[in-house]
Structure 1
């Protein structure tokens, strides 16, 4: 089947406490998968290739605005076991996390590997600058972060595509969009980065695959919790809302004895500040993002809701058991199961308080500038460009997290992290607006860009599938919606679990086959079926 004629008519379907203070912001990023074997042979020739977990390094520019500063080593994984001359090069950026283990995206257990197998492609998994081992400078200081921007990451893509010599026979003959069809992939922030790159660098990539792509920068992102509230079990939702409402009443009551009793219910009696208490209790709601369609009863989310809704072997009705039971059950589960692991195994109440206290600026976690500290690197992007602060809903809306957790709570922490950059809490609303203006946000008009989203994804409201978006997609920019969670479509196992996710995955595979790339490369075929 040809890899990529014109588009045919198309029906659109619809961080942890032991390391850093718990800026209550559920993780983003793609799911890792478990694949045992790293051994691989070329599909056609049978030649044994280097293991899939082999690490490669690319000399990337430190500053694309000042190339004279030199280069740094940017890490990547690479697999060409499906590759045939003329096949696409699929580039996936891992985004805001260490790339260790993401070599699994070279396999056909993922959408990148599946597409490579279908269209005789090769796959590159690239580590984002300032994450993992890919660091322009030896620390994560504010001075180093001068080159930690969305635009520098976009420029990394361009420089890599145009200059890399891929470690395969003829690898130097596929560099650049004029020699081979390059397709960019990403999920979550890297999904947004896929859209931003294609908007900013037209023609660099022939096509893009943006899963759960948070393209719309939103500073006050309280809607993160709306898909969770809408899709969680009704009994659990009712009881969670009851406890949250009660907590906010207590913590704002100025009744010290009542406040202390509430804190003791959750093992937080030594935690001084009420907003930290509210954040700590609410934090468990973020475990929803860990879910996949294959998640079982052992997941934190289902354990939590079972603790609230199962009593004496009976399950509560749609209205839950009510506040009294929910408060006691939540407190018991939180203290016995959730709290200590969240704080790196701490059991002493004072150690737990130190773990959860975001007001203590003497905590060395705020000034930990050592490399491979993904939380700090992500916070820089959050504080300077995105916002994405997930807090309680406005007063006129139901909420499943405390309203004491708000943008002011997070903005204060930006000062704790980066006092050299902020003398007072930053206001990133204008920065977020500028990101949307520069890179298109919901309204990008980029063609041959696939957006894939899940109904149950808490990041959905920052994607093109948001309720507020005015862009329905088009035949030239498909918007696909399945019933999955965050980045579900990137895992083949999720398609096995859900016909809706499978339909989304198959649609992309089939649709890419209706496209024909235009490039001038002329790879030479050798006897072993590879290029020279």
Structure 2
């Protein structure tokens, strides 16, 4: 098991899959969208009583391998679909979960999600489309650097356009709902929320409206701000003690007292780590646990358990200032050695689980398919960044300042040595923001939904560092929720502020869709029909379950 590596993706938020995401290197978690559970053991019927295929029926679409060179042919891109709520004239709602295999995201077809609630209200048809190079939707037979030249934000955007213009949906009249004949709504959360914004900028007029939840629209190389909403909203005593411990670790590790250094390593059960930056970086794991929180997260959440371990002594909670360094340091170390290390590393030794300096380990260059961590890391290293490191000296920090972008850039050269033959270089986030407008996006009929407690908030249009005004054409609705809280219907049942965002979204979509009129002809391609495959039902995913990844990416050269 590994848990220290770059990751945002924007965007995983669920507990059951956390362990699978804690592998390979010391990179931050992806912003991956949370799954939504759905029962698939009963028939699905449309509004007119027609028996429909199961939600998890998988279809494939012939997608272009390279939009810059259509002569290369096509690959099979998976999608899932329902017309449970559809009536002629209703919208087509297109969603991709982004940087994760799309299996298990069938809940987004249903009214358990805000997308399904929009579809139900508007008599729409819902689609879940798997992103290229994730899951089983792969233009190439491996994830080598040569193959991954086709994994760019622009290729992903072009996929959405080509799909919308050419797919023949598996429903009555499914060949007559291209964007010139029916209103299409592009929706997404986290990275796929950003992809919604970037696509509407890059393909103006293609999608009539968009819904972007926790959308990390601004690509940021040194994204130390990831931890700032956590610092703001976590228990004050836990924050105070954590900051004190990290400041102490940095002071000791920056000195030459080997006895004191070894004591700290031993205290956390990390004596087996040979590099101090890996030891310090490992402690970020406790704060990455915040990303899995949702409005209904109870006392048993991993993050709450961590803070209780630090702040509750003999049944008494610490004051807002915390217990102080000595008590907190021992409590944090005991938490790691008693349960947390085994939780994230299992039976693996510390170097294998949390070390990042051995470039010869095979996981760095595992090019097998359906390896979401590798695909997302490619994006991180080349185009989006989101490196979750220590804060500047003039800002409070929950994370060691020994962890800076260079620590992560080095790992990119291990993952993709052929891409970085001249050594580490930062991702080209400036180009990404120029191309797709980042925080400065200005598009009609694009709804942003964000949460105050979202660790990704400062990459969204609700950032503390870049003020944006909400407008009627580009609303920004903010709840007290966490990452993508507004996507789940049940979160609105436990948090009135999330419910208010969902209510505003439904009213806004109703207004916008009433304004749609058919456009001029958009040419389709009859050679790309849907192909059903893998009928039957798979086990229902657990709600609020996602993967974590620490990865990053640089824009390939124009020639590549």
TM-score (norm 2): 0.87
- 1:36 is displaced (CA, Å) by 2.3
Report what 1:284 is aligned to. Answer: 286
Partner of 1:96: 99
The answer for the alignment partner of 1:324 in structure 2 is: 326
Find the counterpart in structure 1 of residue 44 from structure 2: 41
> Match for residue 443 of structure 1?
440
Aligned to 1:194: 196
Whether the 8 Å CA contact 2:197–2:446 is kept in 1: the answer is yes
Distance 1:449 1:47 in 2: 33
2:126 is matched with which residue?
Answer: 123
The match for 1:136 is: 139
Counterpart among 235, 241, 244 of residue 243 in structure 2 = 241
1:307 is matched with which residue?
Answer: 309
How far apart, CA to CA, are the structure 1 residues paired with 2:36 and 2:250?
Answer: 38
Counterpart for residue 494 of structure 1: 491
**Structure 2 match to 1:346:** 347
Q: Which residue is equivalent to 1:145?
A: 148
- Offset at residue 17 of structure 1 (A): 8.1
Matches of 1:470 and 1:265, distance apart in 2: 43
Q: Note the alpha carbon deviations across 1:25-79, whole angstroms, 9 max, x for none.
A: 0231111122223534334221211111111111110100000111111111111
Unaligned ranges ≥5, structure 1? 1-14, 523-532
| Higher relative contact order, chain-length normalized (CA < 8 Å, sep 6+) | 2
Matches of 1:304 and 1:371 in 2, distance apart? 35
1:463 to 460, 465, 471: 460
In the alignment, the residues of structure 1 paired with residue 423 and residue 29 of structure 2 have an alpha-carbon distance, to the nearest angstrom, of 21
The answer to whether structure 1 residue 275 and structure 2 residue 277 are counterparts is yes
Q: Tell me if structure 1 keeps the 8 A contact 2:26–2:278.
A: no
RMSD: 1.6
Is contact 1:165–1:171 with CA below 8 Å preserved after alignment? Answer: yes
> Does the CA-based 8 Å contact 1:38-1:52 persist in structure 2?
no
SS of equivalent residue, structure 2 residue 145: coil
Out of 415, 429, 432, the residue aligned to residue 429 of structure 2 is 432
Matched, 1:51 2:54: yes
Aligned residues: 502
Structure 1-normalised TM-score?
0.92
Q: Within 5 Å, which residues of 2 pair with 1:351-362? A: 351-362=349-360
Is the 2:25–2:411 contact (alpha carbons within 8 Å) kept by the matching residues of 1? Answer: no
Kindly report structure 1 stretches of 4+ aligned residues shifted beyond 4 Å. Answer: 15-19
Judge conservation of contact 1:340–1:352 (CA < 8 Å) in 2. Answer: no
Which residue does the alignment assign to 1:372? 370
Which residue matches 2:111? Answer: 108
- Ranges in structure 2 where 5+ consecutive residues have no aligned partner: 1-17, 522-560
- Cα 1:355–1:18 change in 2 (3 A) is farther
Looking at structure 1, the residues matched to 112 and 380 of structure 2 have their Cα atoms a distance apart, in angstroms, of: 31
Deviation at 1:322, TM superposition (A): 1.1
C-alpha distance after superposition, 1:293-327 (max 9, x if no partner): 11112211001001111110111110111111111
String of CA shifts for 1:145-191, please: whole Å, max 9, x gaps.
1110000000000000000011111111112x101100001100100
In structure 1, the residue matched to 2:182 is 180
Match of 1:75 in 2: 78
What is residue 154 of structure 1 aligned with on the other side? 157
Q: Displacement, 1:336? A: 2.0
8 Å contact from structure 1 (residues 94, 190) kept in 2: yes
The separation in 1 between residues aligned to 2:22 and 2:455, in whole angstroms, is: 25
Q: Tell me if 1:61 matches 2:60.
A: no
Distance in 1, matches of 2:240 and 2:230, equals: 12
The answer to whether the 8 Å contact 2:46/2:83 transfers is no
Question: How far apart are the structure 1 equivalents of 2:44 and 2:226?
Answer: 43
Q: Distance in 1 between matches of 2:189 and 2:357?
A: 33
Q: What secondary structure sits across from 1:210 in the alignment?
A: strand
Q: Distance in 1 between matches of 2:41 and 2:519?
A: 34
Greater CA drift, 254-263 or 188-197: 254-263
Matched residue SS, 1:295: coil
Deviation per CA, 1:345-386, whole angstroms, max 9, x where unpaired? 215xxx222221100011101011101111110010010011
Confirm whether residue 30 of structure 1 aligns to residue 33 of structure 2: yes
